[in-house]
Amino acid sequence: MNRLTTFETGLNKALRPRTVLILSALAVFSTAVAFLFLNFRSGGFYLGQLFFESPDGTTDTFMDFYNSVYDAAMQPYDHQVIYPPLCCVFFLLLSGIIPGQYFEGAWVPRGGFTFYEIQNAKLMLVVFFVIPFAVVVYCIFRYTSTLKDSEKLLVLMAFLASTPVLYAVERGNIIIYAVAFALLFFVCYDDERAWVREIGYIALAISAGIKIYPAFFGLLLILDKRYFAAVRTVVYGIITTILPFFAFDGLKSMHQMLTSISSFNEISLFSLSLKGGINYLIATRSNDFTYSKTLLYICMAALIISVFLTKSGWKRAAMLTLLIYGAVSNGGKYMGVFMIIPCMCFYKENTTFRIIDYVYAVMFFLFFAPLISVIGPGNSQIMAIDLVFFAVLLTIDSVFDLVKRIRVNKGRKSAEAVNG
């Protein structure tokens, strides 16, 4: 046994994966409390570094939600809405609780309406949050089923107090629904009961119907050779992503949405995405971003190849999640909620850690910890760079896994030849 193996064994005895999960959850929640304390001491000075702040200095809190409800009631795709139609149908249904006079007359720019001030709107907002968080609580408790109840609660509190969740709640963004149903897919994915797995496939289709890019997770069905399940999931996806367009202007609405998405993705050079992380790293040395798109394509190609190389479930989940960040070039901090999926898979799959797994654990912590938002340039930059390092490390790790499997197979064949 070499020194590295001895060190790794000793480290596993001192810091088992379960212990690391509890310590990480405690650290994330503690940084959230510290962030809150800093704001109490500074009159809320640091809030703008974590939450959205309008150019005029206002917070615009919950307005992703209220704007979406208003737009859905006023022909959304005529006003550059980028949400898929399933979202707009949902918001249209919610708008029914608001008196009709608030939607009369011509459409007004974002925030130009006033219905969010009435009690009905505030009750509607509560209902909006209750549904996805109930699903998230169920999923996290399922993933942490081997923990004590107090430890499960700590993990849940850390998730709710993490940077991307706090930002998503402050915005009132429907991405919470997308990650909730994506988590449900992963919970149901390997269940022995066929009907539970079917719920998982439907959940994935709903998640993709809300934010489109969770469709990447459907590749897991192909990788596991569940071809018939993949076909059914595609059918469910068509139902959730295409049919709702006909609640508005049909194919015209689809064209309008795609046009709006295209223009939206060109707005930001720096964002929570792989492209944003690459641009941040380039910006440390120059302002020439000529090759950033090429580097992004190389990164995504490496991830796609690595997905097929690795046999690890959590690494596949992580790489597919990173492909989401590669496909989205203008993501807000709330995009970070999808990293909870590989994080949960990581701790569930590993009963022992290699040294590199402790590095992954630290990277997950940096991604979720709110206090990081007041250190240095702000956590959008740190989170985006973290994504790039995740992609590089996972790709290298997968290649080493492949080499190790090849060596093991050669050794097994040699042993069989000798014994034969």
Question: Is pLDDT at 106 greater than 70 in this prediction?
Answer: no
Inside any domain, residue 230:
yes
Q: Within this chain, do residues 147 and 75 fall inside the same structural domain, yes or no? A: yes
Closest CA to 308 of 379, 384, 219: 219
Spatial separation of the C-alpha atoms in residues 262 and 375, rounded to whole Å: 33
Closest CA to 398 of 298, 314, 293: 314
Is-contact 220 186, C-beta < 8 A? no
C-beta neighbour count of 75 within 10 angstroms: 15
Q: Which residues contact 226 (CB under 8 A, 6 or more apart)?
A: none
Inside any domain, residue 8:
no
Spatial separation of the C-alpha atoms in residues 159 and 152, rounded to whole Å: 11
Q: Within this chain, do residues 256 and 198 fall inside the same structural domain, yes or no? A: yes
Closest CA to 167 of 345, 379, 322, 385: 379
Q: Within this chain, do residues 132 and 216 fall inside the same structural domain, yes or no? A: yes
More confident residue, 165 or 416: 165
Of the residues 228, 249, 266, the one at which a domain ends: 266
Which DSSP symbol is given to 79? G
Inside any domain, residue 42:
no
Q: Which two tokens stand for residue 26?
A: 């405690």
pLDDT tens digits, residue range 272-324? 889 888 888 887 677 777 788 889 999 999 999 999 999 899 999 999 999 99
Inside any domain, residue 2:
no
Which pLDDT belongs to residue 379?
A: 55
Of the residues 240, 266, 292, the one at which a domain ends: 266
More confident residue, 97 or 380: 97
pLDDT band at 110 (very low <50, low <70, confident <90, very high): low
pLDDT tens digits, residue range 335-354? 999 999 999 999 999 888 88
Kind and range of the H or E run holding 7: helix 3-14
Q: Which two tokens stand for residue 40?
A: 């109490």
pLDDT band at 159 (very low <50, low <70, confident <90, very high): very high
Inside any domain, residue 44:
no
Spatial separation of the C-alpha atoms in residues 403 and 411, rounded to whole Å: 12
Question: Is pLDDT at 129 greater than 70 in this prediction?
Answer: yes
Q: Which domain holds residue 168?
A: 51-266
Which DSSP symbol is given to 247? G
Q: Within this chain, do residues 209 and 258 fall inside the same structural domain, yes or no? A: yes
Which pLDDT belongs to residue 260?
A: 81
Inside any domain, residue 272:
yes
Q: Within this chain, do residues 242 and 307 fall inside the same structural domain, yes or no? A: no
Closest CA to 338 of 189, 214, 193: 214
Inside any domain, residue 281:
yes
Which pLDDT belongs to residue 162?
A: 93
Question: Is pLDDT at 375 greater than 70 in this prediction?
Answer: no
Is-contact 380 325, C-beta < 8 A? no
pLDDT tens digits, residue range 224-270? 999 999 999 999 999 999 999 998 888 888 888 888 877 765 556 56
Q: Which residues contact 410 (CB under 8 A, 6 or more apart)?
A: none
Q: Within this chain, do residues 241 and 336 fall inside the same structural domain, yes or no? A: no
Q: Within this chain, do residues 223 and 312 fall inside the same structural domain, yes or no? A: no
Of the residues 244, 266, 288, the one at which a domain ends: 266
Q: Within this chain, do residues 188 and 219 fall inside the same structural domain, yes or no? A: yes
Inside any domain, residue 93:
yes
pLDDT tens digits, residue range 139-157? 999 988 888 889 999 999 9
Q: Within this chain, do residues 106 and 215 fall inside the same structural domain, yes or no? A: yes
Number of domains in the chain: 2
Q: Within this chain, do residues 225 and 324 fall inside the same structural domain, yes or no? A: no
Is-contact 319 303, C-beta < 8 A? yes
Q: Within this chain, do residues 259 and 278 fall inside the same structural domain, yes or no? A: no
Spatial separation of the C-alpha atoms in residues 92 and 38, rounded to whole Å: 39
Q: Within this chain, do residues 413 and 288 fall inside the same structural domain, yes or no? A: yes
